[in-house]
Homo-oligomer: A and B are copies of this chain.
Amino acid sequence: MIDLSIRKQLGEFGLDVSFSVPEQGLTALFGRSGAGKTSVIAAIAGLLRPDEGHIRVSGRTLFDSASGEDVPVHRRRVGYVFQEGRLFPHLSVRDNLLYGQRRSPVVNRRIDLDEILELLGIAALLGRRPRDLSGGEKQRVAIGRALLAQPEVLLMDEPLASLDAPRKREILPYLERLRDELRVPIVYVSHAIEEVVRLANLVVVLDSGRVAAAGTPEELGERLDLRPLLGEFESGAVIDASMEAYDAVFDLSTLAFDGGRLRVPGNAGVIGAKVRVRVRARDVSLATQKPVDISVQNIFEGSVEQVAEEPGAYAELKLRVGNTRFLSRVTRESVSRLGLRTGSRVFLLVKSVSFDRETLSAAPGIASAGQRGHG
């Protein structure tokens, strides 16, 4: 739904970025400070005119240097949450929030003021001026303003950077709903890996103005060469499963996947719902004898497919359980001590507590988020 290829010279900095996101969803722009993330977003919004290239969103051409097309900013219908707020100082919070909504076609008004006020916890601020707001309050109003503009594409430049964790945890599912229910494509810049991993369908890694890599969070998580760019971007495997049962006494769901059953905390949805869970490599321990009487609930038998030693103390192993692939991160010492190599039979110990809400998300294309339990 986003097809972008732009070149632009900014002083000594050359931006040359191309990527395309075929399906509806959230594209995360990731990269070190100064990599060009904001520049890409600004180009989509029409605030930075590329020297060359094209930008298409949801089939609409916003810019094309070949045909000379260049849709004016105010007709692009983007919702842009700026890195630096940019609230209108002369308007009240209410008027800031409604600025975009008032200019949106009435038929498009799917996002509602009251809903946004509650989501962002800013109902009490409506009568204030931006200068009387705290940093996080400003940022929340900026998010609300962009959402209420009823955008056809949402551009978010580190929107949650200065928000507290509980608030983040309220906003993230909302963004997922936007993506899935209202099918608004989102381009999202963040340095917080958990956010990216949770939300992104596609991660585009920028480095010095160029695309260093692009792929799903899982694909990139497995690429060791990207570590210097991604930092603690944690590797992990994504497992497609379906909801099988919910145990209300212990608040645990049982999910079936190709290779076994996983028990995860909370209610993961209606019976039969497809869910996707992420198992971080560091949450998978390995044993060559099946441990007993242990708190770890999920123990699977599988085989080692590949052992990748990293510099430092760790090694990363690819494992297979049935037809499902897992990743495990253990010390090199353990690999050596247990004699693990390709083909070894092992037991995987997956702590159920490592399934937190942030790695549990509805399989794309299934708008099940609304029914999911919030345990």
**A contact residues vs B (CB 8 Å cutoff):** 10-11, 31-34, 37-38, 83-85, 128, 132-137, 139-140, 157-158, 161-169, 191, 193, 228-233, 247, 250-252, 263, 265-266, 282, 285-289, 291-297, 312-314, 328-336, 338, 349, 351-354, 356, 375
A33 & B136 in contact (Cβ 8 Å cutoff): yes
B83 & A375 in contact (Cβ 8 Å cutoff): no
A selection of 16 A-B contacts at a CB cut-off of 8 Å is A32-B164, A33-B140, A37-B134, A158-B162, A166-B229, A250-B331, A250-B336, A251-B313, A263-B333, A265-B312, A287-B293, A294-B349, A295-B334, A296-B334, A297-B331, A314-B353
Residue of chain B at shortest CB distance from A190: B162
With A252-B313, A289-B292 known, 19 other A-B pairs at CB within 8 A are: A11-B132, A32-B167, A33-B140, A33-B163, A33-B167, A34-B133, A161-B162, A165-B230, A168-B231, A232-B356, A251-B313, A252-B333, A282-B353, A289-B294, A291-B292, A291-B294, A295-B330, A295-B338, A313-B352
Copies in the complex: 2
Residues of B with C-beta under 8 A to A297? 331, 333-334
B282 & A287 in contact (Cβ 8 Å cutoff): no
A260 to B291, CA, bound (A): 22
Q: Give which listed residue, B37, B165, B312, contacts A375 with CB less than 8 A.
A: B312
